[in-house]
Amino acid sequence: MIRSTLIHCLIALLLAAATPLYAQKTAENAAPTAQGYENETKAQRDARMAWWRDAKFGLFIHWGVYSVPAGIYKGEPVKGYAEKIMSGAKIPMAEYQLYAKEFNPVKFDANAWVKMAKDAGMKYIVITAKHHDGFAMYPTKANQWSLVGASPWKHDPLQELAEACRKYGLKLGFYYSQAQDWHNGGSVSGGVENKWDPAQHHDLDDYIDNVAVPQVKELLTQYGDFPAVLWWDTPGSNRPNITQPQAAKLRKLVHELRPDVITNNRLGGGFMGDTEVAEQNIPPEGFPGLDWETCMTMNGTWGYNRADDRWKSTEVLLRHLCNIASKGGNFLLNVGPTSEGVIPEPSIEVLNGIGQWMKVNGEAIHGSRSTPFHDPHLQLNPKKQGKKRFEPVWDWRCTSKPGMLYIIIFDWPVTGEFEVPGLLSKVNRAYLLADPQNLKFTQGDDRVRLMLPKEAPDPIASVVCLEIADAQAKVAPKPEGWELPVEAESAPGTDAPQSRTAQDALTPVVKGPGRHRKLLARIKEGPVGLLFLGDSITDKWPSKGLESWVRFAHYQPANFGISGDRTEHVLWRITNGELDGIQPKVTVIMVGTNNIGHFNDEKAEWTADGIKKIVEVVHEKLPKTKVLLLGVFPRARPKVTGKKIEAINRIISKLGDAEKTVYLDIGQKFLDTTGEPSTEIMPDGLHLNANGYEIWYEAMWPTLETMLKE
Ligand code: FHN
């Protein structure tokens, strides 16, 4: 009793002391926090995104002075991506600068590069204007660490590429490493302070104001209608670097100078951007409802590495293209040119191969939208433990356009008969993209049976067009009990967890010391669209192996549940600014259980009061969020009577105002027929097991989904 009274006094003091501070912070943040596109209507956004959505296939180019060492330092191969050799080998700045003197790409031919991309069926190019080594691949006025300032090659390849792109009808985008900059005072891998050369020690704010801001301004204003895309990178992968106000300065530039530019979700500071990025992987279901892109290397590196010959085949990359398109995404496929300006031959061969296929079958990719079918074409490999248990099945994929389905068949049937299951729309006509003659087919029992020629028109992938009677295909519903695997299909090592799956986002990051700080860093890494705030109830759930969490993935979820936290702790954390700067659309609050458990003598009013304060502070700190407040759950260990929980929930239910706070009591679902907490789903009397979480999900998802979609 005395203890809880003391705690409440302490909270009151903390709140009183902290109020002016966070009020002031909120005011400071107000201007840069503006998303810029918040007033954009759906029609405006659709118009702005139209070319990108139709493009489907683009070329990523990682090119810079790192192509001089090309993965080798002092005669030894350096582990990791070749473009990051400076940090990989901790090369001092003065020494690294010498590479610039050798960077003389006399064989660079912008027209040839763009034509190569066009012939491959690519519709846009994104090139590194500045990577983490800070070297500007264009003549910047911000400093001398650029092509013109430090290399013998006084060119502006961005300008030359822009002209070539206009000539060949492609869009040009710029990659800009806005937070990491190992030369100019930006952050470095492993943390802002983790620099390896005293010459690197500058202030991050100074770097943002005097390098990043002027350079981004140059990039946005010096290239006419380009860039069409601004591709941010590494806002802080598990390391706190760019802050919300710093990121806001860059976001503001884009908004003011080129609001039409498409940006990805990697700026940091809680800014969502326009497109989701999946790096080196293909999410099982894509990001339904969102614009997304998989970027991928052709071998094991982005920048040129002379020793890397792990080239993926045309077949593999073409299947990726079809697979990504079938999930509604874009494929940004990378090349790493040499310091002479030559794109490695194996890359060219693959692009030629894909280009030949696209000439015949490009219609199935360009302008297409995702498959209407539910099957993600993945199979479980029971022998594999942990990650990547699911493997893609290379049987077929589907893309769509109004009134048309494109069935892309990888595994051509020897029988000549191919079945498309689950199609309810009437098929009017079937034909191959490679041959417009009508194909015979029958339709019935929710499926279409196609009679195909014995020989596949293409050894890798052949496309059958189905003209259907409905603009949007009608398909059979998801089978009962069907669950989507959470693992991505392929995810070779990357230091970039920004493309977070639900599993990534909801799994507690680390155990042991510093866990809370790291968890927070991960949340701040953003963007966060859906925040769960709680105690062990949220902290523990991912360890239950729930594959259904992927259902949240589309909403950029983050989990800030800390085992053992009581309402006081949660309140203390958020009052003291831990969540400042993130802008979830919805915050789900699940607290209170620990208060009723640990302090059985705590009055219901007190617990309710703590929860009420949490809701208030969340609204104050995260002004754009809506709150889904779940009623306190019942518990059997130690036993807390239903009456007390009812009393708390009766009070907090009044917080629901249907506008910014929705209150939902789902506690009844966790009781057995006698009204006691069910040991079936709460074996320890306190925490839900996998079934319990499914019940929890079913009970709260309809409300949460409505709030997310509002
Ligand atoms: O560290 C970089 C890496 O070098 C490369 O640029 C990729 C491309 O997506 N992005 C970063 C890692 O996420």
Q: What angle do CA 334, 251, 81 make, to 5 degrees?
A: 25
Residue 270, sorted as left (phi over 0), alpha (psi -120 to 50) or beta, turns out to be left
- Residue 186 and residue 211 in contact, taking contact as beta carbons nearer than 8 Å: yes
Strands across the sheet containing 417-421: 417-421, 447-451, 441-444
What's the CA gap between 122 and 118, in Å, rounded? 5
Is pLDDT of 687 > 70? yes
Percentage of the chain with pLDDT > 70?
A: 81
In this structure, are strands 275-279 and 291-296 parallel, antiparallel, or unpaired?
Answer: parallel
Q: Counting Cβ atoms within 10 Å, is residue 378 exposed (0-12), middle (13-18) or buried (19+)?
A: middle
pLDDT of residue 382: 62
More confidently predicted of 492 and 61: 61
pLDDT of residue 194: 72
Which of 59, 177, 182, 233 maximizes ligand 1 atoms within 8 Å of its Cβ, making it the mutation to test the pocket? 233
- Distance, CA 348 to ligand 1 centroid (Å)? 22
The CA-atom distances, in angstroms, between 198 and each of 94, 193, 212, 540 are: 11, 11, 21, 42
Average pLDDT value for residue range 86-97: 96
DSSP class per residue in 376-414: --EEE-TT--SS--EEE--SEEEEEETTEEEEEESS--T
Question: Of the ranges 46-50, 118-122, 279-283, 350-354, which one carries the lowest mean pLDDT score?
Answer: 279-283
Question: Of the ranges 60-74, 198-212, 232-246, 395-409, which one carries the lowest mean pLDDT score?
Answer: 232-246
Q: What angle do CA 474, 365, 459 make, to 5 degrees?
A: 105
pLDDT of residue 277: 87
What's the CA gap between 79 and 75, in Å, rounded? 13
pLDDT of residue 668: 85
The CA-atom distances, in angstroms, between 544 and each of 480, 488, 540, 671, 706 are: 21, 19, 7, 20, 26
Is pLDDT of 583 > 50? yes
More confidently predicted of 9 and 40: 40
Ligand 1 atom nearest to 277, measured from its CA: 9
What's the CA gap between 348 and 371, in Å, rounded? 30
451 membership: H or E segment, kind and range: strand 447-451
Beta bridge partner(s), residue 401: 404
* Atom 5 (ligand 1) nearest CA: 302
Is pLDDT of 217 > 70? yes
pLDDT of residue 698: 84
Is pLDDT of 15 > 60? no
237 — pLDDT class (breaks 50, 70, 90): very low
What's the CA gap between 622 and 529, in Å, rounded? 12
More confidently predicted of 322 and 504: 322
Could you tell me if the CB of 276 is within 6 A of ligand 1? no
Could you identify the residue written with the tokens 């936290």? 565
More confidently predicted of 600 and 341: 341
Establish whether 684 is a catalytic residue.
yes
Q: How does pLDDT run across 545-582, given as a tens digit for each residue? A: 454 455 676 677 777 777 777 787 788 778 877 788 78
More confidently predicted of 696 and 188: 696
Is pLDDT of 632 > 50? yes
Average pLDDT value for residue range 250-255: 93
- Distance, CA 492 to ligand 1 centroid (Å)? 13
Number of residues that this document lists for the chain = 710
Could you tell me if the CB of 81 is within 6 A of ligand 1? yes
- Residue 408 and residue 461 in contact, taking contact as beta carbons nearer than 8 Å: yes
pLDDT of residue 475: 95
- Residue 360 and residue 369 in contact, taking contact as beta carbons nearer than 8 Å: no
Q: How does pLDDT run across 505-529, given as a tens digit for each residue? A: 333 333 344 556 656 666 666 667 8
pLDDT of residue 385: 55
The CA-atom distances, in angstroms, between 396 and each of 249, 392, 408, 545 are: 45, 10, 5, 29
Verdict on whether the full-model pTM lies above 0.85: no
What is the average pLDDT value for the chain, to the nearest integer? 83
- Distance, CA 159 to ligand 1 centroid (Å)? 23
Question: Of the ranges 72-76, 382-386, 396-400, which one carries the lowest mean pLDDT score?
Answer: 382-386
- Distance, CA 170 to ligand 1 centroid (Å)? 23
- Residue 687 and residue 536 in contact, taking contact as beta carbons nearer than 8 Å: yes
Most confident of 179-193, 300-314, 476-490: 300-314
Beta bridge partner(s), residue 270: none
Is pLDDT of 137 > 70? yes
Could you tell me if the CB of 233 is within 6 A of ligand 1? yes
More confidently predicted of 40 and 458: 458
Residue 219 has φ and ψ, to the nearest 5°, of -65, -30
Establish whether 687 is a catalytic residue.
yes
More confidently predicted of 530 and 434: 434
Nearest to 318 by CA among 277, 375, 364, 373: 364
Average pLDDT value for residue range 251-279: 88
Q: What angle do CA 646, 540, 509 make, to 5 degrees?
A: 140
pLDDT of residue 161: 98
* Atom 13 (ligand 1) nearest CA: 496
Beta bridge partner(s), residue 681: none
Beta bridge partner(s), residue 232: 176
More confidently predicted of 556 and 208: 208
Could you tell me if the CB of 83 is within 6 A of ligand 1? yes
- Distance, CA 81 to ligand 1 centroid (Å)? 9
Is pLDDT of 682 > 80? yes
Average pLDDT value for residue range 69-81: 96
Q: If DSSP codes are grouped into helix, strand and coil, which group holds residue 591?
A: coil
304 membership: H or E segment, kind and range: none
Ligand 1 atom nearest to 295, measured from its CA: 9
pLDDT of residue 525: 63
- Residue 242 and residue 236 in contact, taking contact as beta carbons nearer than 8 Å: yes
Ligand 1 atom nearest to 280, measured from its CA: 9
Is pLDDT of 9 > 50? no
Contacts of 517 (CB under 8 A, 6+ apart): none
Which of 60, 81, 188, 308 maximizes ligand 1 atoms within 8 Å of its Cβ, making it the mutation to test the pocket? 81
- Residue 584 and residue 563 in contact, taking contact as beta carbons nearer than 8 Å: no
More confidently predicted of 393 and 118: 118
Question: Of the ranges 235-249, 463-477, 501-515, 642-656, which one carries the lowest mean pLDDT score?
Answer: 501-515
- Residue 279 and residue 499 in contact, taking contact as beta carbons nearer than 8 Å: yes
More confidently predicted of 477 and 638: 477
Is pLDDT of 343 > 90? yes
